[in-house]
Amino acid sequence: MNETQKVKGPASYFPSIEKTYGKPIQHWQDIVRQQEGKSHMQIVALLKADHGLGHGHANAIVAATLAEQKS
């Protein structure tokens, strides 16, 4: 994979998240999408408290999912 093909930003965490937690990214994004009206950090806290995700992984999922909803 060369520099132009490298995944950057929050999505660069996705392979590690899937490997660590054994669930596809779609699973986590579905949870994020169900949190209408909550702030970024409230959703991060939910993923950490209710699902055991680490801060960086939770933050990456929330950031990527909310960014796609804005576009």
SS (H, E, C) the chain: CCCCCCCCHHHHHHHHHHHHHCCCHHHHHHHHHCCCCCCHHHHHHHHHHHHCCCHHHHHHHHHHHHHHHHC
State pLDDT tens for residues 24-43: 999 999 999 999 999 999 99
| Percentage, residues of the chain above pLDDT 70 | 92
pTM over 0.85: yes
Residue 1 confidence (pLDDT):
45
- Is pLDDT of 44 > 80? yes
